[in-house]
Every structure is written in structure tokens, then in C-alpha cells.
Amino acid sequence: MRKHPIRRIVLGSAATVSGVVLLLALKMPYAPWEAERTSAAQPPAAGAPAAPGAGGAASPGAPAGDPAGGGPAGGGPAGGDPAGGGEAAAPGGGQGAGGGGGGAPAQEAPRTVTGDLVTTEYGPVQARITLTGGKITAADAAQAPSGNPQTESITARAVPELGKKAVQAQSAEIDTVSGATFTSEGYKKSLQSALDKAGG
């Protein structure tokens, strides 16, 4: 049985086309029609918003003049960090000259000074004072006339009064107590010696 030449040509052409299609399929990762189908299913997002901070867009709420939203243009506030990072140091922070260590100066402790013993007609008198910060804060007598009820009565009245006058006057220039002249004069002399000792 003899074959027709036309049929042979048709079969050869079909084999050639099949080979070309097979080669194209091996070279392409996917068929061209699949690419068209994928492109049609996912159209480009023309109206998609740009990511925050991308392309120099200002962040929401960022002050005008700073594209990155990091504060006013030109760095941090005047007197602060030039890079705008961190807070400016609070005035008076830390211990500097004149800071005084943050505490009040220590107050001078009270001290007691006793004057010289002065002899009077009714007995010896010796003034005693308490000083705080250079001022008389209390005054009384280490010794005072005694020996009989009348003298002790005068002393009990005169000494507290003389002490009060000394605190008020801050000196030995005080008035005598009525009815206790000798005791008052002896007390003033002793008080003056106590002040001299305290000052020296």
C-alpha cells in the first residue's frame, strides 16, 4: 500500500509544530496565557497610599517644617540639645558653685559662760549666761546672796529680773532692781566679765 505525499507533509508539519510548542513550554516558566490571566486578576493599585515616612511624606500630627515629625525645623528648642534629642538640663540641677550642698548651714550650738565672782555687802554674786549664735538667750546666777530669809527673798525676786533685763539689753548696761541695789551692781559687774569671756 503506497502512502500519499500530502499526508506525509501534514504529519511532518504537525510534528514540527508540536516540537516548537514543546520547546517554548520548556523555556517559559509559565504559559503566556497564565501571565495574562494573573495580570487581569490583580490590577495595579493606582490609589494605594504611600507608607508613612516614605518619599519624605510628613507623618500624621508632625509639626510643620519637620518632614520626619521629629520636632521643629532646625533641631531642638533654643538652649537644648542641637540634635533635638533629649531634654534641656533643668536650671539649678546638680551641685554647682554656690549650691551650698542642698542643706541649711549648721546652727551654732548654745554655750554657757560664767562671769567672775563679785562680793557684795550681802554676799557673793556670780552671773551666768547662755549664748546662741553670739546672742544672750538666757541669763541667771551661778551664785547669789543668801543666809537669811530677807536676803533670800530679795535674791529670789532680783535675780530673775536681772536675767530678763540682760537678755533684752544684750549687754551689761541694765537698770538696777528696786530694793536690790547691791545685788544688782554686783550682778552687772559679773555679767560684764562673762560677756568679756564670751567675746575673747
Residue 6 pLDDT = 81
- The 3-state DSSP class for residue 70 equals coil
Dist. CA 164–CA 136, nearest whole Å: 10
Helix/strand/coil for 16: helix
At 51, the pLDDT band (50, 70, 90 cuts) reads: very low
Does residue 59 surpass a pLDDT of 60? no
pLDDT score for 200: 55
Mean pLDDT of 128-135: 94
| 198 three-class SS | helix
- Listed in sequence order, the residues at least 6 apart from 116 whose beta carbon sits closer than 8 Å to its beta carbon are 126, 189, 190, 193, 194
3-class state of residue 105 by DSSP: coil
**Residue 94 pLDDT grade (very low, low, confident, very high; cuts 50, 70, 90):** very low
Least confident of 28-32, 92-96, 169-173, 188-192: 92-96
pLDDT value at residue 86: 47
What's the average model confidence in pLDDT over 89-101?
Answer: 45
